Amino acid sequence: MSFFDEADEPRAARRATSPRRRRSRSARRRPPARRTIVERRAVAAVAMLIVVLLIALGVHGCQVSQRDSALTDYQSNVAALIHSSDQTGSRLFSELSRASGSATATSRRSEINQVRVNADSELQHAGSIDVPSEVQPAQRYLLLTLQMRRDALADIAAEIQPAPGTLTSRDAVNRIAAEMARLNASDVLYSDYMVPAIVGALREAGVAVGGVKGVMIGGGQFLPNAQWLTPEYIALELGMPLPARSGKLAPGVHGHRMDSVSVGDTMLQTGSTNTVPDSPPPTFTCTFTNDGQNVETDVVVKVAVSGTAVSGLAIVPQTIPGQRATAEVTLNSAPPKGTYTVSATVEQVPGETVLTHNTLSFPVTFQ
């Protein structure tokens, strides 16, 4: 029996040691390697960083989009305000051109006061719009532009009633001319300061300006032409020539002769129909000669379309005996389509007695 017992002992011993070997192998398989843990953590960190970057880019994109939208909304508001202001200016000068004599002075003053109310409303509206920080300088220029226009209109309305008076007409017209200078300054402020400020802000933000797809900047011309800066022109438009200047009339012949009239490159002919575009209101270049013996000042040249209220005038500060002068006369509105007689006249100057060659007339078809 002992023989068999001794033979079985090694097997039992091997069986006893076998589970330990199995446990040792499983122990080697079960715990993950430290290198794998580090790699997984690195991948998670990179993924988190990517997510954060994407969120940051998204937030930045939204902020840029909001900023660009705010800037373009501001420009749209400005464009609407300036367009309205331009219309206010057109109405003002339409009323001034229609004014004539003391009988209509009160009604004209009332109508111009209503124009001033419009200008005041535009100024208040400008003060209430949202203004991004990038265009704060432009906004200051805009407010000053509209304020200058509103104040000038108020003072012009105040001077309209006394203008036709015999004693006060020159002073009143001179004050109106001073307010015209303020309106001209508002145009300069808008075009030379406000527009560059807003264009610079838009371009710095990457917003396209002009072209087919860009933001459009335009308008802003309140004063129709520089002749409104002269008291003589204002008086004539109001239908009340200024009192004659003091001083004795110089001896000798006084007067002018109308020589030719053209529109652009087209020289008008008296013997045949001339075709001229009706819009924009055409400008007539009138060439005339001082055929007298004296220097003449503040010479008025007028162009009128027969059968209509459409006309225009210009003032030449000085003409020299024997020399030609030129006047650029723009009609106060677009003439109606059709054929009319257009007359260009050098108005009579003090001491002029012969007027037969002061006017040229032409058949003109506006189309």
pLDDT above 50 for 234: yes
- Name 366's bridge partners: 276, 338
Average per-residue pLDDT for the chain: 83
pLDDT above 80 for 242: no
pLDDT of residue 50: 79
What is the average per-residue pLDDT within 258-278? 94
Cβ atoms within 10 A of the Cβ of 351, count? Answer: 16
pLDDT tens-digit series, residues 99-155: 544 445 677 788 888 999 999 999 999 999 999 988 899 999 999 999 999 999 999
pLDDT of residue 225: 85
pLDDT of residue 11: 53
State the pLDDT confidence band at 247, using cuts at 50, 70 and 90: low
pLDDT of residue 351: 92
What is the average per-residue pLDDT within 247-252? 84
Q: Based on the number of CB atoms within 10 Å of its own CB, is 153 exposed (0-12), middle (13-18) or buried (19 or more)?
A: buried
pLDDT of residue 209: 81
d(C-alpha 343, C-alpha 305), whole Å: 7
pLDDT above 50 for 230: yes
Worst-scoring range by mean pLDDT, 89-103, 174-188, 257-271? 89-103
Worst-scoring range by mean pLDDT, 38-47, 150-159, 332-341, 352-361? 38-47
pLDDT above 70 for 19: no
φ/ψ of 35, rounded to 5, equals -65, -40
pLDDT of residue 4: 46
What is the pTM (predicted TM-score) of this model?
0.63
pLDDT of residue 243: 56
Cis previous bond, 31, omega within 30: no
pLDDT tens-digit series, residues 149-194: 999 999 998 888 665 554 457 788 889 999 999 999 999 999 999 9
